[in-house]
């Protein structure tokens, strides 16, 4: 088994992006980092504030519409095509739909070897990180902390509540090395 894709799923401010940077530093081959934030930033501004695209509520809630789902499906297919073409990819995602989100990725990544990693963080810690960042809507981290893991199956879970991102990345890298 040659893992081509590592999917990191966790709530906002759980530490996924930092783990991704650490993984890129410790893994022996080049890995591309792609995240749902990349998709959202690539969308026209009009889709980042509408019911057709993605809406961020004042309380931190996130709602996605049909245009978002259409573009997300195309993006997922493109990421999967890159993996099939030989790129190693770390996906930083927030499974707002829990198991349904994982199913969409599984369909897109069919035939690609994937390591599914849950990135957990205590609600209060994630909320404090969110405040310190200053670039997130307050309440997003707390509302997503558990919801994104509902019904999701992982090969490995890490918890950044008290474990540094670098150690979490080393744990993930060790799992990759241990695979046949």
**Which sequence positions are flagged as catalytic?**
37
Contact 102, 116 (CB under 8 A): yes
> In the Cβ-directed half-sphere of 87, how many Cα atoms lie within 13 Å?
14
Tell me how far apart the alpha carbons of residues 131 and 137 are, in angstroms, rounded to a whole number.
Answer: 9
Largest CA distance in the chain: 47
Contact 97, 124 (CB under 8 A): no
Question: Is the dihedral angle over the CA atoms 43, 44, 45, 50 positive or is it negative?
Answer: negative
């Amino acid at each position: 088994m040659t893992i081509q894709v590592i999917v990191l799923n966790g709530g906002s401010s759980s530490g996924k992006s930092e783990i991704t940077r650490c993984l890129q530093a410790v893994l022996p081959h080049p890995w591309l980092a792609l995240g749902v934030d990349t998709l959202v930033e690539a969308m026209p501004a009009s889709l980042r504030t509408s019911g057709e695209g993605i809406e961020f509520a004042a309380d931190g809630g996130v709602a996605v519409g049909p245009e978002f789902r259409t573009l997300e499906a195309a993006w997922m297919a493109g990421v999967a095509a890159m993996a099939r073409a030989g790129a190693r990819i770390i996906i930083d995602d927030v499974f707002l739909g829990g198991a349904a989100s994982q199913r969409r990725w599984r369909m897109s990544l069919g035939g690609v070897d994937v390591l599914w990693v849950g990135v957990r963080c205590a609600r209060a810690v994630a909320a404090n990180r969110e405040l310190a960042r200053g670039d997130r809507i307050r309440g997003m981290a707390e509302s997503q902390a558990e919801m994104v893991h509902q019904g999701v199956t992982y090969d490995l879970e890490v918890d950044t509540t008290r474990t540094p991102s670098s150690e979490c990345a080393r744990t993930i890298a060790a799992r990759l090395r241990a695979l046949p």
